[in-house]
Structure 1
């Protein structure tokens, strides 16, 4: 059964709920968009959730945009944020219409601790950021032939 997640922006103007089969904050994204929009340690931590389960108490309080990578390549994802405080909330990418990706940093529900971290877009990591890659950590590039569900199952972060 998916886990129910509650999230909110910093000022409380936008609150949302979503169901997730992958509620473990295991993925650190170093892409230029995540770094610039979400801040933090040079990366953002995104979670996968079921798009149809997303519920928001203030849709009018949301803004959205399509970001552009440092390389000039347009992002497929539409990024949603609170218009009052600017908190980045979630990403929706039309290539995966069944998924929405809330940032772990805005989830108020207690999340499971990951057994390992997956580091993605390390090529975009700035020099000042040291990727703390521990034993058991991996790169997304290691599983190119698996579906998203298969990959999450293989890494122990899929909730039945």
Structure 2
């Protein structure tokens, strides 16, 4: 199976040649809340070499609470968040679920950085939960 996605204006698109993501997470860190307009981001982690992007991306780098440099990529024309990547794991790309085309069938299996969630946040109790950064997913097979 592969996954596809595009931004709201269609200027950026992606094809992801992976059978499944390594992990699907909901992130409540403060930076993700800012990117998402107040709630968590929902993300699927794929091997970098499985992700092919077409179109120009704008980026914003910052030092995350984990101490790593995090790069958010988005469409410069419409502002749609596309993906994030961390300096700690360059072999992964964290794709925003909202960027992926409808019908992808993915749902978070964990909620991370819940210590930074606002008091009104609704976190599904069935998700595995992490107060801060969870252990890294295993590297993709060679």
TM-score by length of 2: 0.80
CA deviation profile, 1:84-113 (whole Å, cap 9, x unmatched): 011110011121121111011110152235
Is 1:18 the equivalent of 2:16?
A: yes
Q: CA RMSD in A?
A: 2.9
Match of 2:120 in 1: 128
Deviation, 1:7, is: 1.0
Matched pairs, number: 138
Deviates more, 1:85-94 or 1:24-33: 24-33
User: Quick one: distance in 1 between partners of 2:83 and 2:109?
Assistant: 20
TM-score by length of 1: 0.72
Contact 1:4–1:20 (CA under 8 A) maintained in structure 2: yes
CA deviation profile, 1:26-61 (whole Å, cap 9, x unmatched): 421101111110237x11111111112322221xx3
Deviation, 1:22, is: 4.0
Match of 1:139 in 2: 129
Match of 1:45 in 2: 42
CA deviation profile, 1:95-148 (whole Å, cap 9, x unmatched): 11211110111101522354x7311101110122222323xx21246xx7x651
Structure showing the higher helix proportion among its residues:
1
* Residues 141-160 of structure 1: pairs in structure 2 closer than 5 A: 148-149=137-138
Structure showing the higher strand proportion among its residues:
2
Considering only CA atoms, is the larger Rg found in Structure 1 or Structure 2?
1
* Structure 2 stretches lacking a partner, 5+ long: none
Contact 1:23–1:112 (CA under 8 A) maintained in structure 2: no
